[in-house]
């Protein structure tokens, strides 16, 4: 018998044409003089890092940001990138990981003197230079030294024969809010880089703006911007007024696998959190919290089947959800139910109902949901 690939129960349809439209809209907004680093960490926010990075590269992107060295190596060797792109790993590395940066040509984030010394020692032992970028903490409180200490770090890197500084960057804690704390962080960053460039007599790549600041703080763009959620079709804050129009790139669909008619008072799913108020057709859809459909969406969600919206009812289970079709007879087993995407509820809708954010909704789509690139 010929091997037959089973029909997937749930699919994440990834519209590369939407991604291309989004990156071009961002580039039109920022202008050609500003580099764009495509953020493809966390498997490109759940979309599939290799294919997303390849599509961004085809659209002219040559800088990429990932979370750590594991993601960087996977991207470097995954086959999606065809050219010699620059890949920056944002995480502060472990000493045991330095050789991987050297072997694969990944740009390392340095934000401590201990790591500087360890990196310099390994690069010297290998007889090569290690490309690094310096992260400064201007108020995020996560990674990086404060500006005064970072200035000393920059000077130490300049004195090293085995470290090559590729850039300096920071991250905003409230990047979608243009004033207040963002202004304070921006002032701190600007003062540091101005002092360093004046003292050293050299210009380095400076970047601070992720999606929020791209939209609302033009003066934070510097030499490069780092769109993440914006690439994938969502605003960092749904309440923002955006000068850039973007379209969701991912649509998650799952198949209707069973339909039955129940009478009034019939309970549905664990703990009987919903009972039929009358005679109803109930559809079981092959996706649950193991696929990334949040359990907290129980009795709150909406799915779209054949262009019609239906309520999700009962507790979301690991592998399935139930949907109240009312007396609708058009829905059949095998039909696709849109859980979220450009034709159904958005990731923002899911996030609003569950007290989350679109980032988490996208990243939570699990590996057993087959990615289909269209």
pLDDT at 7: 86
Tokens of 175: 């990047």
Spatial distance between the Cα atoms of 3 and 207, rounded to a whole number of angstroms: 50
pLDDT at 295: 97
Domain boundaries, the chain: 34-226, 250-373
Q: How confident is the model at residue 63 (pLDDT cuts 50, 70, 90)?
A: very high
C-alpha distances (whole Å) from 51 to each of 40, 145, 178 are: 10, 35, 33
Q: Where are the alpha helices (DSSP H) in 241-369?
A: 347-354, 358-363
In eight-state DSSP terms, residue 363 is H
According to CATH, the topology of domain 34-226 is TIM Barrel (3.20.20)
Q: How confident is the model at residue 1 (pLDDT cuts 50, 70, 90)?
A: low
Q: How confident is the model at residue 180 (pLDDT cuts 50, 70, 90)?
A: very high
Question: Burial of 97 by CB count in 10 Å (0-12 exposed, 13-18 middle, 19+ buried)?
Answer: middle
What count of Cα atoms within 13 Å lies in the side-chain half-sphere of residue 231?
29
Q: How confident is the model at residue 125 (pLDDT cuts 50, 70, 90)?
A: very high
**Secondary-structure class of domain 250-373 per CATH:** mainly beta
Residue where the block lists tokens 């759940």: 46
Spatial distance between the Cα atoms of 367 and 355, rounded to a whole number of angstroms: 23
pLDDT reading at 4 higher than 80: no
Tokens of 282: 């109930």
Write out the catalytic residue numbers.
41, 270
Report pLDDT digits (tens) over 135-174. Answer: 999 999 999 999 999 999 999 999 999 999 999 999 999 9
pLDDT at 2: 65
Same fold, 34-226 and 250-373: no
Helices 16-30 and 49-58, axial angle in degrees (round to 10): 50
Spatial distance between the Cα atoms of 273 and 104, rounded to a whole number of angstroms: 53
Phi then psi for 335, rounded to 5 degrees?
Answer: -65, 155
pLDDT reading at 58 higher than 70: yes
Q: How confident is the model at residue 5 (pLDDT cuts 50, 70, 90)?
A: confident
Phi then psi for 171, rounded to 5 degrees?
Answer: -140, 135
pLDDT over 70 for what percent of the chain?
A: 99
In eight-state DSSP terms, residue 336 is E
In eight-state DSSP terms, residue 145 is B
Question: Is residue 234 a contact partner of residue 348, using CB atoms and an 8 Å limit?
Answer: yes
pLDDT reading at 9 higher than 80: yes
pLDDT reading at 308 higher than 70: yes
In this prediction, residues 91-114 reach a mean pLDDT of 97
Q: How confident is the model at residue 6 (pLDDT cuts 50, 70, 90)?
A: confident
pLDDT at 3: 67
Spatial distance between the Cα atoms of 112 and 274, rounded to a whole number of angstroms: 54
In this prediction, residues 168-185 reach a mean pLDDT of 95
In this prediction, residues 110-139 reach a mean pLDDT of 96
Q: Where are the alpha helices (DSSP H) in the chain?
A: 16-30, 41-45, 49-58, 69-77, 98-104, 113-126, 147-159, 181-200, 211-216, 347-354, 358-363
**What's the whole-number average pLDDT of the chain?**
96
Report pLDDT digits (tens) over 188-208. Answer: 999 999 999 999 999 999 999
Residue where the block lists tokens 């390849």: 54
């Amino acid at each position: 018998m010929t091997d037959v690939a089973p029909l997937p129960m749930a699919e994440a349809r990834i519209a590369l044409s939407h991604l291309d439209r989004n990156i071009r809209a961002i580039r039109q907004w920022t202008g050609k003089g500003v580099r764009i680093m495509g953020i493809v960490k966390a498997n490109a926010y759940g979309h599939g890092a290799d294919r997303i990075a390849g599509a961004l590269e085809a659209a002219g992107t040559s800088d990429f940001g990932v979370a750590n060295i594991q993601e960087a190596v996977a991207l470097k060797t995954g086959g999606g990138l065809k050219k010699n792109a620059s890949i920056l790993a944002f995480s502060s590395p472990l000493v045991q990981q330095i050789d991987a940066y050297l072997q694969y040509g990944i740009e390392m984030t340095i934000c401590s003197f201990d790591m500087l010394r360890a990196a310099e020692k390994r690069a010297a032992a290998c007889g090569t230079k290690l490309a690094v970028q310096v992260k400064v903490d201007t108020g995020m409180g996560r990674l990086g030294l404060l500006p005064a200490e970072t200035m000393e770090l920059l000077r130490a890197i300049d004195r090293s024969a085995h470290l090559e500084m590729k850039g300096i960057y920071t991250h905003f804690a409230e990047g979608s809010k243009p004033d207040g704390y963002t202004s304070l962080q921006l002032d701190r960053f600007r003062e540091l880089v101005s002092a360093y460039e004046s003292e050293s007599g050299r210009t380095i790549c400076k970047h601070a703006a992720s999606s929020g600041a791209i939209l609302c703080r033009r003066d934070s763009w510097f030499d490069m911007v780092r769109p993440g959620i914006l690439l994938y079709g969502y605003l960092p804050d749904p309440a923002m007024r955006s000068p850039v129009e973007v379209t969701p790139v991912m649509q998650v669909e799952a198949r209707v696998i069973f339909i039955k008619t129940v009478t009034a008072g019939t309970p549905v799913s664990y703990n009987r959190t919903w009972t039929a108020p009358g005679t109803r057709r109930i559809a079981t859809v092959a996706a649950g919290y193991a696929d990334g459909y949040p359990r907290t969406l129980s009795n709150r969600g909406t799915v779209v089947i054949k262009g019609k919206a239906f309520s999700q009812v009962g507790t979301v289970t690991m592998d399935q959800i139930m949907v109240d079709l009312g007396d609708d007879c058009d829905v059949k087993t095998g039909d696709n139910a849109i859980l979220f995407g450009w034709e159904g509820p958005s990731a923002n809708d899911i996030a609003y109902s569950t007290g989350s954010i679109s980032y988490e909704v996208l990243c939570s789509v699990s590996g057993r949901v087959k990615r289909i690139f269209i």
